Amino acid sequence: MDQIESKIVRKLPDLLMNDWKNIFLSELGESYFESMQVKLSKKMQSDEVFPPQDAIFQAFNLCSFADTQVVIIGQDPYHGKGQAHGLCFSVTSGLPLPPSLRNIKKELHLDLDVFLTNQDGDLSLWAKQGVLLLNSILTVSEARPGSHEDIGWQKLTSLAIEKISKEKEHVVFLLWGHYAQQLAKNVDEKKHLLLKSSHPSPLSANRGGWFGNKVFSKTNDYLIAHQKKAINWL
């Protein structure tokens, strides 16, 4: 094994732990993963890549296809050391909240009219309740946002959105900003609820359309109306 290949110890499909693995392999095939692995290995040879290898598919591993009832879409992982752990908008426990996540927490407070005692930035508890926290691009090089657009992640994550739209019913898609709204433009609005708002980043949020959007209570109202369990957002 040469030096480049040694940067990835495990094959990408081996990092998927539930029903998503069969979905992706049956739709995309081993060769697609092999192509992505070669490209990712080259990035890892020259750059520090986030999130850690075992967390690349964390969004899928914590929220199986069968359990998915809410989808939140981001662009690519945080590019600061130690932040990204495979869930969009979420950071490793104990780290300071990035600006977008601070605004998410503020809107939670406004929407649910409760004091948030949990100010930790790890959103894993959401994922374990059926919230797919999905970045369109699953890896990034340190300090270089958008640097892994050429890996091929978008085909995989677009497939995930397509499969949810076609094969499930009454899923809530939280589409924050233009990027997320474009990725989900083909979601069947007759079968699912699409809640669109501005992005929670300070620039977008301060222009209006984020604070007061009540997406969290609207999500729970919809889930309950369709005999599903509400999400504990706190």
Q: Is the pLDDT of residue 208 over 50?
A: yes
Token pair in block for residue 31? 């060769």
Burial string for 98-125 (b: 16+ CB within 10 Å, else e) reads bebbbbbbebbeebeeeeeeeebbbbbb
122 labelled catalytic: no
What is the tens place of the pLDDT at every residue in 178-193? 999 999 999 999 999 9
Stretch 128-140: mean pLDDT: 98
Token pair in block for residue 121? 């930035």
Q: Which of 67, 76, 111, 221 is catalytic?
A: 76
Q: Is the pLDDT of residue 115 over 80?
A: no
DSSP code for 231: P
Residue 46's SS3 state is: helix
Average pLDDT score, the chain: 94
Q: Is the pLDDT of residue 47 over 60?
A: yes
The pLDDT score that the predictor gives to residue 9 is 57
**pTM (2 d.p.):** 0.94
Amino acid at 118: N
User: For helices 19-28 and 30-46, what crossing angle results, to 10°?
Assistant: 100
Token pair in block for residue 56? 């690349």
